[in-house]
Amino acid sequence: MTPPRPGQTSLAQGTFSELNPPYRLLLGPGPCNVDPRVLRAASAPQLGHLDPFLLDTLGAIADQLRQVFQTQDELTLCVSGSGFAGAEAVLCNLLEEGDTLIAGSLGFFSGKIAEIAQRIGAHVILVESEPGQPLDPQQVAAAFARHPEAKLFATAIAETSTGLLQPLEELEQITHAHEALFVVDAVSGLGGIPINIEQMKIDACYAGSQKCLGAFPGLAPVTLNGRAVEVIKRRRKPVQSYYLDLLALQRYWNGDHAYHHTACSNLLFAMHEALRIVLEEGLETRWQRHRLHGQALRAGLQALGLTLLPRPGYELPVLTAVNLPPSVSENQLRQQLLTAYGLEVGGGLGSLKGHLLRIGLMGYNACRKNVETVLAALEQLLPSHGWPVQAGVALSAAATVYSQADQASEHA
């Protein structure tokens, strides 16, 4: 007989018990735990997707997003879907079959830009970096020199598979010197690291709701400037995706609100509250909070004798990728963290599978308690993997970072 599925009490009677999911501390690459205010916002009474109250809420969210992205761009909204829906939306609206795109791949996630563009039928010129290394601007310049017809260059500011923070300034200058569009994946970064669409001269950007913005998965904020919108308006053929047609979505969000699809009111309520929290905290304060806790976590991990994957100076504050010694089983360690501590962290992707932990401190989860929890758990578990550690060494290294930050703020 087939074993019962989780939550199913009796196959014979076809009855199902109420689900009672375990509490997890989500310190992986996202989703992260949301602020209780966001949970409460999501439990408000449901509304129809054309209800005047919901339509006003869409307008408010678009305004909040403009503040968070730091842009006046009119085409700023959430696509219904996760971060990759935002990626597909931006790319399939800007690219047509036969167009050339230069894709800056830093790893698994920015690597998907090339795959998505290929599926659209674009001609993809791939520029790659080694895991944990930023892109070499000279290689991007060389790709543009070979392909002056390139319509856009796209990469990520925060590569979540390797914990890398990619500097954008030179890449932007090269892209715009060739009059191409500058497109950025900010799925992991928005709300946690400095992103200023207008100052950084980003033409189109997509993000995710479930990471540093501190909402649930299922909404992908996107923003496109006038130049990018002109490119869409001048398309030879309509966008092949009905669902991700950004001008139609803009009409629903910000125009005559014509029906486009059934947006989920409660996800939007949660997003509104998450963005209220971001703006109440203030962007600079929030970036500083993520920087501080990322720094404390890295200090603790290094005190355990572990090394970090990204090149020094390019570490992403919101997600730390730490190399595991050969004696440590990534799979077993993650299982132990989950079962003994209710703590979820990420593992390596692709060629990094089996060798890496990815620890996220994003949004509501970027706090000292969580840094200390994950460090204490690793201190306990690593010796059983043949990696001896001195008790208390990681927490004490993190504490030093916190006390130095306290002293610096007293003297400021």
Ligand X SMILES: Cc1ncc(COP(=O)(O)O)c(C=O)c1O
Residues of each annotated binding site? 358
Q: What are 93's two structure tokens?
A: 């609206």
- Residue pair 342/23 in contact (Cβ under 8 Å)? The answer is yes
Cβ-based nearer residue to ligand X, 164 or 371: 164
**C-alpha–C-alpha distance, residues 381 and 320, integer Å:** 18
Site for ligand X contains 34 (CB under 6 A): no
The DSSP code sequence of 220-233 is: EEEEE-HHHHHHHH
The residue among 364, 400, 368, 393 whose CA lies nearest residue 378 is: 393
For position 111 contacting ligand X by CB under 6 A, the verdict is no
Q: Is 29 in the site for ligand X (CB under 6 A)?
A: yes
309 near ligand X, judged by CB under 6 A:
no
Min CB(325)–ligand X separation in Å = 25
Structural element, H or E, at residue 408: helix 393-411
Q: Whole-number minimum distance, CB 262 to ligand X, in Å?
A: 20
Residue placing its CB nearer to ligand X in the complex, 205 or 381: 205
Which position has the token pair 């989860």?
Answer: 365
Contact between 344 and ligand X per CB under 6 A: no
Integer Cα distance of 188 and 106 in angstroms: 14
82 in contact with ligand X (CB under 6 A) = yes
Q: Which of 187, 321, 343, 356 binds ligand X (CB under 6 A)?
A: 187
- The least distance separating ligand X from the CB of residue 113, rounded to whole angstroms, comes to 9
Binding to ligand X by CB under 6 A, coded x per residue (else -) over 132-171, reads ------------------------x-x-x-----------
Taking CB under 6 A as the criterion, the residue among 109, 269, 287, 387 binding ligand X is 109
Angle CA 341–324–331, to nearest 5: 50
Which of 35, 99, 172, 185 forms a contact with ligand X (CB under 6 A)? Answer: 185
Min CB(154)–ligand X separation in Å: 11
Q: Is 250 in the site for ligand X (CB under 6 A)?
A: no
Indicate the helix (H) or strand (E) that contains 9: strand 8-10
Nearest to 157 by CA among 171, 177, 146: 171
Binding of ligand X by 208 (CB under 6 A): yes
CB of 156 or CB of 297, closer to ligand X: 156
Q: Under the criterion CB under 6 A, does residue 78 sit at the interface with ligand X? A: no
Strand 8-10 versus strand 164-165 pairing type:
unpaired
Q: What span, in angstroms and rounded, lies between the C-alpha atoms of 299 and 146?
A: 43
Amino acid at the residue 128 = E
Q: Which stretch binds ligand X (CB under 6 A): 82-90, 272-280, 371-379, 382-390?
A: 82-90
295 lies in the binding site for ligand X (CB under 6 A): no
- Tokens linked to 372: 């200390």
Q: Which amino acid is at 85?
A: A
- Does position 320 interact with ligand X (CB under 6 A)? The reply is no
**N-term to C-term CA, the chain:** 69
Q: Which whole-number Å values give the CA distances from 382 to 191, 215, 325, 365, in the listed order?
A: 32, 32, 10, 23
Closest to ligand X by CB, 84 or 402: 84
Does 365 bind ligand X (CB under 6 A)? Our answer is no
**Residue set of the binding site for substrate:** 358
Structural element, H or E, at residue 80:
strand 75-80
- Residue 243 sits in the site that holds ligand X (CB under 6 A): no
Select 336 or 365, whichever has its Cβ closest to ligand X: 365
What is the nearest approach in angstroms of ligand X to the Cβ of residue 400?
30
How large is the angle between the packed helices 246-254 and 226-233, nearest 10 degrees? 120
Residue (361 or 382) nearer to ligand X, CB: 361
Q: Return residues touching ligand X (CB under 6 A).
A: 29-30, 82-84, 109, 156, 158, 160, 185, 187-188, 208, 217
